[in-house]
Chains A and B, each alone.
Chain A
Amino acid sequence: MPADNKRPDIMSLDEFKAWFVSAIEWSPDVVSEEDNLFFDLGMDSVGAVDLMVGLEDAVGGGVILPIELLLEINTVRDAYLQYCALAHLPPADGAKR
């Protein structure tokens, strides 16, 4: 993922944190990018489902978050990075998002 992301349709980290708080039901009112989803925010398997679906929705809803990306997510920052990766990866088979 390019570090100098300029795509207007992709959230900045601050925008992502605001989105996280509003879109993820179990999120506290404020999150830090360093927050560990499991230990600091108490994410369990059910919360992980919410996050998976939320990230897919954030990039249009039609794309599958791959298992490899999912396993990279431990902190809020990780979630943001994988969101960015998901937004940049081209759909397979020429499918549209």
Chain B
Amino acid sequence: MTVAPEGDVRLSPSLETRRLQLRMLTNDDHAPLYRLSSDPDVTFQWRFRGTTPSYDEFLKQLYPGVLCQFVVSPHGSQEVLGLVVAYNADFRHRFCHAAVVMHPKLHRRGLGIEAFMGLARYIYYGWDFRMIIMETVGIAFDAFASGEQAGYFTVEGRIRDQFFYGGRYWDGISVTHRRDQFDKVMEGPVGRLLTPGNKVLRTKKPAPRAAG
């Protein structure tokens, strides 16, 4: 039962965002996530950093340390667009870490932010955490760096030239998304990402005509 005030999308355990659903991970998602984790445009910035673990090893590493994680799919579809994870929760000091991985075709489209905000809403609804911490790499950070100026998050730490990708070294970057930042950005364009809206009817492609 939702106890949030009616109409206040900031205070809701909903796992639906404007375009996406965050849904429970099932066995059917394991293979698509394994493929995603080993995609050349993803692997160096995600868990395995370019290595190629066996499928069994991948599965073993999917849950340890996880507070909650959800597959990212479009509304009404089971297609795996990505994964959002909250992990390494510290209940004494009231923070957790989070990570978002999205299919490369969706990079720089804003959908990773939409998925993250859905996760952040769920986390801040359910736990009295003060902040969500994200560890990222400069090469990935470039895709959302302007968010610091927009107040989405704060860069708290930077290890210069920590990671090597693409023939050069990139900084390791720690950012925090604090509860008050969540509340504040929800008042701007980001707030729209969590509000329901009216879907439009899409024209279906005609079925291929039978030969002959």
Contacts and interface: CB of A to CB of B under 8 A. Distances in A.
Nearest to A96: B198
Given A44-B108, A45-B110, A64-B18, A56 B201 contact: no
A93 interface: yes
B150 interface: yes
B198 A93 contact: yes
Nearest to A90: B201
Contacts of B144: 44-46
B147 A46 contact: yes
B145 interface: yes
Nearest to A97: B198
Sorting the interface of chain A by its residue count into under 10, 10 to 19, 20 to 34 or 35 or more gives 20 to 34
B109 A44 contact: no
A91 B200 contact: yes
Nearest to B141: A44
B86 interface: no
Given A44-B142, A50-B189, A64 B19 contact: yes
B197 A62 contact: yes
Nearest to B148: A46
Interface residues of B, number: 32
A56 B191 CA distance: 13
B142 A49 contact: no
Interface string B135-159: 0000000111111001010000000
A48 B108 contact: yes
Contacts of A30: none
A52 interface: yes
A39 B144 CA distance: 15
Contact of A71 (B105, B145, B199): B105
A86 interface: yes
B119 interface: no
A91 B112 contact: no
Interface string A32-54: 00000010000111111111111
Given A48-B108, A49-B113, A63 B146 contact: no
Interface in B183-212: 189-190, 192-193, 197-203
Contact of B193 (A47, A49, A97): A49
A43 B202 CA distance: 27
A81 interface: no
A73 to B, nearest CB: 8
22 contacts: A43-B108, A44-B146, A45-B107, A45-B112, A45-B144, A46-B144, A46-B150, A52-B192, A53-B189, A56-B197, A62-B198, A63-B198, A63-B200, A64-B19, A64-B200, A70-B110, A89-B200, A89-B203, A91-B198, A91-B200, A95-B199, A96-B198
Interface of B: 18-19, 74, 105-114, 142-147, 150, 152, 189-190, 192-193, 197-203
